Amino acid sequence: MSETGWCIEADLDSEHMRLKLFFMDLHSVPRNHLRYISWIAYVVTRDPRNGIRESIVVTNSPHGNYYIQDGMDMGTIMDTNILSHQIKESPKVYLEMEGQLTVHIEWCDSMMLFNHIYHKYDDIPRIHCQQMRSNP
């Protein structure tokens, strides 16, 4: 996934912080194909007293999306349990020196699918497998 461009934005306008992930290289998806990508996102915090880092997983993980060359990525919204006012009140825990938030993305799946033979029902086994892995 390192060859492709991604952009992430943080939204603090609601009660909880939201992250929005954009795929910037839609042109890299071949014509007549779909690219399915799934991931788990973590917000990385740092204790200002001792520098110990902790990763907080975003809710409803893993996330996933389908991308096509001629499409337009509106971004995938990921909710967190982090209250927006916590970030504003104690920015040293959440933000780096430059005021940037650190987000760790763990890529789970990346599949290229041929558009003309792919059907929405083909996704059912993948969803079932994902549900079985995430439920203890």
Q: Is residue 97 part of a domain?
A: yes
Amino acid at 130: Q
In this prediction, residue 18 carries a pLDDT of 94
Q: Is residue 1 part of a domain?
A: no
Q: Is residue 51 part of a domain?
A: yes
In this prediction, residue 127 carries a pLDDT of 67
pLDDT in tens, 67-82: 888 878 888 999 999 9
How does strand 76-83 pair with strand 33-46?
unpaired
Cα separation values, 37 from 15, 21, 60, 92, 117, Å: 28, 12, 15, 32, 18
In this prediction, residue 134 carries a pLDDT of 66
Domain that holds residue 37: 6-134
Reference 103, options 39, 53, 41; nearest CA is 41
Total domains, the chain: 1
In this prediction, residue 118 carries a pLDDT of 62
**Could you give the CA distance from residue 28 to residue 135 in angstroms, rounded to a whole number?**
34
Q: Is residue 53 part of a domain?
A: yes
In this prediction, residue 33 carries a pLDDT of 82
What phi and psi values does residue 68 have, to the nearest 5 degrees? -130, 155
User: Residue 49 — very low, low, confident or very high, per pLDDT cuts 50/70/90?
Assistant: confident
pLDDT in tens, 80-129: 999 998 888 888 888 887 888 999 999 998 888 776 666 666 666 666 67
Q: Is residue 12 part of a domain?
A: yes
Task: Give the mean pLDDT of the chain.
Answer: 83
pTM: 0.76
